[in-house]
Amino acid sequence: MSRVLVTGATGFIGRQALTPLLGAGHEVHAISTTDAPAWSPPGVVWHRSDLLSDPAGAVIAVRPQRLLHLAWYTAHGSFWTSPENLRWVAATLELTRAFAAAGGERLVAAGSCAEYEWGLQGPCVERVTPLRAATLYGACKDAARAVLEAAAEELGLQVAWGRIFFLYGPHETPGRLVPAVARALLAGRRVPTGDGSQIRDFMHVADVARAFAALVDSPATGPVNIASGQARPLGEVIDAIGAATGRRELIDVGALPPRRGDPAELVADVTRMRRELAYEPSIHLREGIRQTVDWWGERPEAPG
């Protein structure tokens, strides 16, 4: 059992990581910029902290042995290009220094498939696929990882870096693909889509969160892809939403042109995750999409 501090604990992944960490026997501390959330699992100790203005405060107060750092700038539409990404690189480095200085032992942080070069064929393999971020977000995640990996020995830290691919599930930002399609179909609106041919790797957020909890307890260091390992056309994901809502007929496949810079294929090799974390995702896509659609169905859009 360790004292684990979770940043981004009220976020899309973070809120699902608390229960698996408690289940593994850890003393779980979590950061929120506001009060402890009403939905918190019992047993989590909440700390009010703003990582951007005071990156060191929470680790000095908690003195965690392990740090699960999920916080980052994620505003839909702007996170790919926003200069806020620079602030999060800076905050991540300051947080890590303070964590090491306060006796921290193991840092697990959230990376991204956006660190890999896009446009190559076949699955992305850690330490094999070239790192050549096409976006500011990807460049900032990659820079933070490079610094933390290079600093690990000097700081006396284990550093593991979970590279997330595509996810979906409850509490996703409404503007993103799965919620946008689900909510439109649930409201009876037509949904124009591209040709759906892009190959992606989708994982339910609860599986992503459990994989991160497994990574906290594993001795693995360096980058580890956190993904399903299953290559699926985007059209299959959209069709699953159509099936779950019973409104397939509202989907206009091919109505939108391809998006510039959108890679044809973005899929993970998950050999490391399987072997070193002994982790397998448990939620199949159609089942996960059905759950997610049900969740959105209980939260109808406000009248426009």
**Contact flag: residue 117 with a second copy (CB under 8 A):** no
Q: Which residues contact 139 (CB under 8 A, 6 or more apart)?
A: 85, 133
**Contact flag: residue 214 with a second copy (CB under 8 A):** no
Contact predicate 74/60, CB 8 Å: no
In whole angstroms, the minimum distance from the beta carbon of 260 to a second copy comes to 15
**95-114: which residues touch a second copy (CB under 8 A)?**
96-97, 100
In whole angstroms, the minimum distance from the beta carbon of 103 to a second copy comes to 14
Q: At what angle do helices 136-155 and 84-101 cross, to 10 degrees?
A: 10
In whole angstroms, the minimum distance from the beta carbon of 162 to a second copy comes to 19
**β-sheet with 106-112: strand ranges across:** 45-48, 27-32, 3-7, 66-69, 106-112, 158-164, 222-226
In whole angstroms, the minimum distance from the beta carbon of 125 to a second copy comes to 18
**Contact flag: residue 289 with a second copy (CB under 8 A):** no
In whole angstroms, the minimum distance from the beta carbon of 266 to a second copy comes to 19
**139-198: which residues touch a second copy (CB under 8 A)?**
139-140, 142-144, 146-147, 149-151, 154-155
Backbone Cα Rg of the chain: 19
Of the candidate spans 130-138, 165-173, 201-209, 245-253, the one that interacts with a second copy by CB under 8 A turns out to be 130-138
**36-95: which residues touch a second copy (CB under 8 A)?**
81-83, 85-87, 89-91, 93-94
Q: Which residues contact 75 (CB under 8 A, 6 or more apart)?
A: 82, 84, 173
Kind of pairing, strands 191-192 and 251-252?
A: parallel
**Residue whose CB is less far from a second copy, 89 or 180:** 89
In whole angstroms, the minimum distance from the beta carbon of 48 to a second copy comes to 23
> Would you give the DSSP letter of residue 256?
S
| Residue among 83, 99, 75 nearest 6 (CA) | 99
Q: Which residues contact 40 (CB under 8 A, 6 or more apart)?
A: 18, 30, 46
**Contact flag: residue 19 with a second copy (CB under 8 A):** no
Number of chain residues interacting with a second copy (CB under 8 A): 29
Question: Which residues contribute to the site for a second copy (CB under 8 A)?
Answer: 81-83, 85-87, 89-91, 93-94, 96-97, 100, 133, 135-136, 139-140, 142-144, 146-147, 149-151, 154-155
